[in-house]
Structure 1
Amino acid sequence: MSAVHAFDVLGDPVRRRILELLVDGEQTSGAISAVIQEEFGISQPAASQHLRVLRENGFATVRPEGTRRLYAVDPTPLREVDAWLAHFRAFWSQPLDALATELARGKRERRKGSQGS
């Protein structure tokens, strides 16, 4: 899967939210659907369709356990997205590093000021 195609899949806020729900580990399709229905106001079949898109495009795995279906994140396409984003990381890494330096400087100055009081 190309990174550009991955963004097509991840461009949908419902699918991004599903992946967020799966970050901490496997979840049943019912549990995922309940959260998605509540947060987005969509039907259970619509939530299932989003799960299917994630599964068919490699972002999620599913395994049966009795009558339940357990979904989990498959990190492979996310690694591809991360590799593609690496080309652009310099646009925000340097400014973030500079911000971290300024924040640390500010904390040092506040500590010095409170010690001198």
Structure 2
Amino acid sequence: MGLAKTEMFTDDQNEIALFAKAFGHPARVAILQHLFKINSCVCGDLVNEIGLAQPTISQHLKELKNLGLIKGDVEGTSVCYCIDNESWSKMKKVMSAFLDQDLTKTGDCC
């Protein structure tokens, strides 16, 4: 398998791809939906809510945190996660601009 060669692309293109990665697995979508639904931090109930093993949930949480869409606070021996509202707003703005490109075109191009 070859390298991604992300340096060939603009910062905007790389940012869009990273945000899109968050939605690239249904478990991450389910985690985000649950965090929005409860509207608070969650520590241990994601395993029961999502139905996946703890290591799998932890891996998806790590990915979402690395992408900046969630944040976590250490409480004792656990980490509690919630949506990072500032990053979520930024992601929505970036993705909306990308997805709305077609609205400026008139007529059929082919």
TM-score by length of 2: 0.66
Query: Which of 72, 75, 94 matches 1:65?
Result: 75
Q: Show CA shifts across 1:44-82 (max 9, x none).
A: 211111111111111111111122211011133322332
Q: Which has the larger radius of gyration?
A: 1
8 A contact 1:2–1:80 mirrored in 2? no
Distance in 2 between residues matched to 1:81 and 1:67, nearest whole Å: 30
Does residue 10 of the first structure (1) align with residue 23 of the second (2)? Answer: yes
Structure 1 portions without partners, runs of 5+: 92-117
8 A contact 1:58–1:76 mirrored in 2? no
Match of 1:114 in 2: none
8 A contact 2:18–2:67 mirrored in 1? no
TM-score by length of 1: 0.62
Higher helix share: 1
After TM superposition, the structure 1 stretch with the greater mean CA deviation from structure 2, 77-86 or 65-74, is: 77-86
Structure 1 consecutive aligned stretches of length 4 or more whose deviation exceeds 6 Å: none
Alignment length (residue pairs):
86
Does residue 76 of the first structure (1) align with residue 86 of the second (2)? Answer: yes
Structure 2 portions without partners, runs of 5+: 1-13, 104-110
Distance in 2 between residues matched to 1:70 and 1:81, nearest whole Å: 22
Match of 2:96 in 1: 85
Q: Specify the code of the residue in structure 1 equivalent to 2:85.
A: P
CA RMSD, aligned part only?
2.1
Q: Specify the code of the residue in structure 1 equivalent to 2:41.
A: E
Distance in 2 between residues matched to 1:80 and 1:8, nearest whole Å: 15
Distance in 2 between residues matched to 1:7 and 1:27, nearest whole Å: 23
Does residue 27 of the first structure (1) align with residue 69 of the second (2)? Answer: no
Work out the percentage of aligned pairs sharing the same amino acid. Answer: 26
